[in-house]
């Protein structure tokens, strides 16, 4: 069992020998394993999906740069520089990656104690997640953004995502899937103007380009189960220049939703405004309030934008024959897309309320 993984682990310099490997079921892209050594130390082994991340070396250069910056900043600001940052092991080729005979890319980092929650059971958790993601962005505010590689080109460029969607429709080789998702396609077409919100503002210099995390799902922040405080922001694969709307919006899309992102019963799906407010307060506190008027005015739009984008990506993947996201059932991507549509419809109704909450949190 797990021979490939064991072989990969053997290429990293460690302080003990592995005695146990178990899969950690999380994420839709990479494969993740917990590795226990004979001295009791734990590590996380990840097989980086090179179909999604075309240049894993460039990706790890970003991650290394960001981690070392975070470590210095945490040490200087009285934060937890030991547990608050990911620590990667070096492989026997001197880099942070090991490439096996099949061309698979592996990396290994010290396991960090903390819970990765899939949903909110207590509002405090969501406040802490907001604070952690806000603080993450604030710690990276002086990071030299021009040195970051674009690990996925046009990742949150919604205008370009829309073109990809159109290409998926036009080039669809699965006519039954296209027929089945006619209504969903029409929905995304009707909301196309949304795609310009951040892209145009960034282009026109109306909104600042920041170093953002870009995948701010609740499960990407480890939380101390005793204090309910954020310990460490993980999954740094998509840290790239972007808009604060992306980080705020994606966190709301995932964490303030009343259901999981793949809930088949769309009648259960809504945005919970109390959770929306809780996250907003934590996020603004973590950021130290350092946002421009334009950003504050459009934060709530960010939630709609990221829900739209994610739904569009799920649907495009369904039409492309499920080549990107990991799926566990035949219609998984269609179900996910439908769930995002239901959430977006509810957000559209509640947008004035969401904007009012943001004004109040700012005051």
- Summarize as ranges the residues that interact with Mg ion (CB under 5 A): 215, 235
Nearer to ligand GN1, 53 or 127 (CB): 53
Q: Where are the alpha helices (DSSP H) in 191-234?
A: 197-203
Closest CB to ligand GN1: residue number: 27
Report the residue from 131, 184, 215, 247 that binds ligand GN1 according to the rule CB under 6 A. Answer: 215
Smallest separation (angstroms) from ligand GN1 to the CB of 337: 11
Contacts of 187 (CB under 8 A, 6+ apart): 341
Could you tell me if residue 228 is left (phi over 0), alpha (psi between -120 and 50 degrees) or otherwise beta?
A: left
Of 170, 183, 109, nearest in space to 334 by CA = 183
27 touches ligand GN1 (CB under 6 A):
yes
125 touches ligand GN1 (CB under 6 A):
no
With tokens 């207590």, the residue in question is: 122
341 touches ligand GN1 (CB under 6 A):
no
Q: Where are the beta strands (DSSP E) in 86-157?
A: 98-99, 105-110
Number of residues that bind ligand GN1 (CB under 6 A): 11
Nearer to ligand GN1, 18 or 27 (CB): 27
Q: Where are the beta strands (DSSP E) in 94-182?
A: 98-99, 105-110
> From CA 169, how far away is CA 229, in angstroms rounded?
44
Nearer to ligand GN1, 14 or 283 (CB): 283
244 touches ligand GN1 (CB under 6 A):
no
> From CA 60, how far away is CA 148, in angstroms rounded?
10
Q: Which range binds ligand GN1 by CB under 6 A, 23-31, 57-65, 134-142, 226-234?
A: 23-31
Smallest separation (angstroms) from ligand GN1 to the CB of 101: 25
Report the residue from 5, 131, 184, 235 that binds ligand GN1 according to the rule CB under 6 A. Answer: 235
β-bridge mates for residue 240, sequence order: 212
> From CA 119, how far away is CA 121, in angstroms rounded?
6
347 touches ligand GN1 (CB under 6 A):
no
The entry of Mg ion, ligand GN1, none that residue 28 binds, CB within 5 to 8 Å by partner kind: ligand GN1
Nearer to ligand GN1, 71 or 213 (CB): 213
56 touches ligand GN1 (CB under 6 A):
no
Smallest separation (angstroms) from Mg ion to the CB of 175: 32
CA atoms within 13 A on the CB side of 26: 20
User: Which helix or strand (DSSP H or E) is residue 42 part of?
Assistant: strand 42-48
């Amino acid at each position: 069992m797990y021979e490939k993984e064991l072989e990969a682990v053997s290429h990293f310099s460690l302080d003990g020998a592995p005695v146990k490997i178990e899969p950690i079921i999380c994420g839709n892209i990479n494969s993740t394993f917990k590795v226990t050594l004979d001295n009791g130390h734990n590590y996380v082994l990840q097989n980086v999906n090179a179909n999604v991340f075309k240049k894993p070396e460039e990706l790890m250069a970003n991650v290394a740069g960001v981690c070392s910056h975070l470590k210095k900043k945490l040490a200087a600001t009285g934060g937890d520089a030991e547990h608050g940052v990911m620590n990667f092991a070096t492989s026997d080729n001197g880099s942070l990656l090991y490439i096996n005979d099949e061309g698979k890319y592996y990396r290994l980092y010290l396991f960090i104690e903390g819970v990765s929650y899939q949903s909110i059971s207590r509002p405090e958790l969501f406040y802490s997640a907001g604070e952690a993601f806000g603080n993450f962005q604030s710690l990276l505010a002086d990071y030299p953004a021009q040195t970051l590689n674009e690990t996925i080109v046009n990742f949150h460029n919604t205008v370009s995502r829309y073109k990809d969607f159109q290409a998926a429709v036009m080039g669809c080789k699965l006519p039954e899937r296209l027929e089945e998702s006619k209504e969903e396609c029409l929905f995304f077409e009707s909301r196309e103007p949304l795609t310009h919100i951040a892209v145009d503002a960034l282009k026109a210099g109306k909104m600042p380009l920041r170093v953002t995390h870009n995948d701010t799902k609740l499960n990407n922040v480890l939380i101390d189960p005793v204090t309910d405080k954020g310990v460490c922001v993980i999954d740094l694969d998509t840290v790239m220049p972007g808009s604060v709307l992306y980080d705020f919006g994606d966190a709301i899309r995932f964490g303030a939703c009343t259901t999981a992102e793949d809930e088949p019963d769309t009648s259960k799906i809504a945005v919970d405004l109390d959770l929306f407010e809780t996250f907003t307060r934590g996020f603004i506190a973590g950021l130290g309030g350092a946002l421009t008027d334009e950003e504050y005015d459009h934060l709530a739009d960010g939630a709609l934008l990221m829900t739209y984008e994610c739904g569009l990506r799920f649907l495009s993947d369904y039409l492309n024959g499920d080549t990107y996201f990991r799926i566990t059932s035949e219609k998984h991507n269609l179900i996910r897309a439908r769930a995002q549509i239901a959430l977006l419809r509810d957000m559209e109704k509640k947008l004035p309320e969401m904007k009012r909450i943001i004004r109040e949190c700012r005051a």
